[in-house]
């Protein structure tokens, strides 16, 4: 247990009398032993498997060997999360508070040897880096990053990206995670420099009341490495490359976009480096079959909110079924479960029919709508049914499927008409009141 040193004005007077005796007849030192026992009990916790999206995103980024920066208000639990992560992954934890170090602590101290003119002057690494290299694995935790001066941030560039500390190369088994408070709530805080910020995956750490309550009760969520499916590795790489390259082909202005404000430059923003990180995370997330919410946290934390949301929408469009495949076999059509994706798929079917309007294709389009009626919400069919009906040629007979959908369209029309009458009555009442 650490010893607290009191200021001189608060040092108690030392008495030479006999040791105090407690209620059980033991010396006063035994009271500290009992205090240590109580503290040990309070610090004894267990873990459980529990869904936690931000912890899953953090663990996936660590597995992908990408530097992660946790943003959060003071006391939110960033350090505790890193401690649990290191324990769960059985990684030695090395904590370095960036703000209390000099630039030379990261770039190395010059050591003059026997013949500097011939051998040069090596840059000696600090002790913590040597111990990490000797262990061959570990979790390097750079704490209080937003309180580090610009000079220290510049010295950290090679540490974060190249894993070099002075002349020492950290081994591949070392992962890097940092934590920072927003500059407004940091102690003498600085904005993160754009070069350093662009090297991180930014995750905004927030507290979950259920996790906090359960953890204070002695049970914290367990961090586990993502379970990568061996059979999905090649497919995941192909998918990630196709997704990122296809998106950037369509949106070349997002390949590199440095934000205009200093605050946003200190966060996630798109660059070739951060898009490469997004590609890696997409491949890992696909091979591990993570949820869309976890993937959204990682993508937005890599290239920023705006570009990240556009890219996620691009992924959704990639997952839409081919409308020609749906038209070829409407009876067994597999439509997306999500409402927005299902509607987009049905609209694509109508557009495909309109591109090549033939009677058999038109009838197949109605069969696809019937399939959608059987497997999902009927309200999504109104607009596609009206659009498909508008494609009918005079010599095409109405298929039986139309009559199965007619009730839905008619009911919607009645609702629209009733709403229209109600609004007209309301407007008429307002006009009458205004004239009075």
Average pLDDT, stretch 29-42?
88
Ramachandran class of 77: left when φ > 0, alpha when ψ lies in -120 to 50, beta otherwise? left
Q: Is residue 37 part of a domain?
A: no
Q: Calculate helix-pair angle for 272-288, 53-63, nearest 10 degrees.
A: 110
Do 60 and 200 fall into the same domain?
Answer: yes
Do 134 and 69 fall into the same domain?
Answer: yes
Residue 302 CA to residue 426 CA, distance in Å, equals 50
Return the ∠ at Cα 212 (arms to 207 and 215), rounded to 5°: 140
Helix H or strand E encompassing 201: strand 201-204
Torsion of CA 34, 40, 42, 45, to 10 degrees: -160
Judged against a pLDDT cut of 70, whether residue 113 lies above it is answered with: no
Residue 356: DSSP 8-state: S
Q: Is residue 32 part of a domain?
A: no
> What are 168-227's pLDDT values in tens digits?
999 999 999 999 988 666 656 688 899 999 999 999 998 888 888 988 998 888 888 889
Tally of domains within the chain? 3
Question: Which among 182, 199, 221 is the end of a domain?
Answer: 221
Q: What is the CATH number of the domain that holds 166?
A: 3.40.50.300
Q: Is residue 401 part of a domain?
A: yes
* Domain, as residue range, for 387: 323-432
Contact 378, 408 (CB under 8 A): yes
pLDDT value of position 13:
38
Do 216 and 237 fall into the same domain?
Answer: no
Q: Residue 330: what are its φ and ψ, rounded to 5°?
A: -65, -35
Residue 291 CA to residue 285 CA, distance in Å, equals 8
Residues 6+ apart with CB under 8 A from 260: none
Contact 157, 47 (CB under 8 A): no
Average pLDDT, stretch 87-100?
88
Do 347 and 419 fall into the same domain?
Answer: yes
Q: Is residue 377 part of a domain?
A: yes
Do 67 and 188 fall into the same domain?
Answer: yes
Do 62 and 182 fall into the same domain?
Answer: yes
Residue 60 CA to residue 40 CA, distance in Å, equals 32
Do 211 and 66 fall into the same domain?
Answer: yes
Do 179 and 327 fall into the same domain?
Answer: no
Indicate the pLDDT class of residue 39, thresholds 50, 70 and 90. very high
The string over 218-227, giving b where at least 16 C-beta atoms fall within 10 Å of a residue's C-beta and e elsewhere, is eebbbbeebe
Nearest partner of 277 among 310, 240, 239, judged by Cα: 240
Please tell me the number of Cα atoms within 13 Å of 362 on its side-chain side: 20
Contact 287, 228 (CB under 8 A): yes
Beta-bridged to residue 48, according to DSSP, are 221
Helix H or strand E encompassing 350: helix 339-355
Do 82 and 217 fall into the same domain?
Answer: yes
Judged against a pLDDT cut of 70, whether residue 3 lies above it is answered with: no
Do 335 and 274 fall into the same domain?
Answer: no
> What are 228-280's pLDDT values in tens digits?
999 999 999 999 999 999 999 999 999 999 998 888 899 999 999 999 999 99
Contact 176, 215 (CB under 8 A): no
Share of the chain above pLDDT 90, in %: 42
Do 306 and 328 fall into the same domain?
Answer: no
Q: Is residue 22 part of a domain?
A: no
- The tokens 């001066």 sit on which residue? 149
Contact 68, 178 (CB under 8 A): yes
> What are 359-403's pLDDT values in tens digits?
999 999 989 998 988 888 887 888 888 888 888 888 888 887 777
Question: Which among 258, 289, 318 is the end of a domain?
Answer: 318
Question: Which among 172, 192, 221 is the end of a domain?
Answer: 221
Q: Is residue 270 part of a domain?
A: yes
3-class DSSP state of 99: helix
pLDDT value of position 124:
83
Per mean pLDDT, which range of 148-152, 418-422, 431-435 is the poorest? 418-422
Query: Exposed, middle or buried: residue 51 (CB in 10 Å: 0-12, 13-18, 19+)?
Result: exposed
| 158 or 377, greater pLDDT | 158
> What are 308-361's pLDDT values in tens digits?
999 999 998 888 888 999 999 988 888 888 888 888 899 999 999 999 999 999
Residues 6+ apart with CB under 8 A from 179: 69, 70, 71, 72, 78, 79, 82, 141, 142, 143, 144, 145, 205
Judged against a pLDDT cut of 90, whether residue 432 lies above it is answered with: no
Q: Is residue 28 part of a domain?
A: no
Judged against a pLDDT cut of 90, whether residue 107 lies above it is answered with: no
Q: Is residue 116 part of a domain?
A: no
Do 314 and 343 fall into the same domain?
Answer: no
Please tell me the number of Cα atoms within 13 Å of 205 on its side-chain side: 26
Residue 427 CA to residue 228 CA, distance in Å, equals 61
């Amino acid at each position: 247990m650490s010893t607290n040193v009191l200021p001189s004005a608060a040092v108690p007077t030392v008495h030479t009398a006999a040791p105090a005796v407690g209620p059980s007849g033991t010396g006063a030192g035994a009271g500290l032993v009992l205090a240590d026992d109580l503290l040990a009990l309070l610090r004894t916790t267990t873990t459980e498997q529990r869904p936690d999206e931000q912890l899953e995103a953090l663990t996936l980024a660590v597995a992908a060997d990408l530097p992660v920066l946790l943003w959060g208000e003071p006391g939110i639990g960033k350090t505790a999360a890193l401690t649990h992560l290191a324990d769960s992954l059985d990684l030695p934890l090395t904590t370095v508070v960036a703000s209390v170090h000099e630039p030379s602590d990261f770039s190395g101290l010059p050591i003059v040897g026997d013949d500097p003119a011939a051998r040069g002057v090596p840059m000696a690494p600090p002790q913590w880096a040597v111990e990490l290299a000797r262990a061959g694995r570990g979790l390097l935790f750079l704490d209080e990053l937003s309180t580090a001066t610009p000079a220290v941030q510049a010295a950290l560039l090679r540490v974060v990206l190249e894993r070099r500390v002075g002349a020492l190369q950290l081994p591949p088994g070392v992962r890097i995670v940092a934590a920072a408070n927003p500059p407004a709530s940091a102690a003498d805080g600085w904005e993160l420099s754009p070069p350093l910020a662009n090297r991180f995956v930014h995750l905004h750490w927030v507290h979950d009341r259920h996790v906090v309550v359960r953890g204070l009760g002695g049970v914290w969520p367990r961090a586990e490495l993502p379970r990568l499916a061996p059979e999905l590795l090649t497919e995941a790489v192909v998918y990630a490359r196709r997704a990122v390259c296809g998106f950037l082909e369509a949106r070349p202005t997002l390949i590199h976009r440095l934000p205009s404000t200093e605050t946003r430059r200190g966060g996630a923003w798109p660059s070739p480096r951060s898009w490469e990180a997004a590609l890696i995370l997409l491949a890992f997330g696909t091979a591990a079959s993570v949820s869309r919410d976890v993937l959204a946290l990682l993508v937005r934390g890599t290239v920023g909110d705006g570009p990240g949301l556009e890219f996620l929408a691009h992924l959704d469009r990639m997952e839409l079924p081919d409308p020609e495949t749906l038209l070829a076999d409407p009876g067994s059509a597999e439509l997306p479960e999500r409402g927005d994706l299902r509607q987009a798929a049905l609209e694509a079917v109508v557009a495909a029919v309109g591109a090549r309007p033939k009677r058999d294709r038109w009838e197949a389009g109605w069969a696809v709508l019937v399939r959608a009626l059987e497997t999902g919400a009927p309200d999504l069919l109104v607009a596609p049914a009206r659009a498909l009906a508008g494609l009918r040629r005079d010599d095409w007979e109405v298929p039986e499927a139309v009559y199965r959908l007619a009730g839905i369209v008619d009911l919607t029309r009645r609702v629209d008409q009733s709403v229209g009458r109600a609004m007209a009555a309301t407007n008429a009442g307002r006009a009458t009141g205004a004239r009075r």
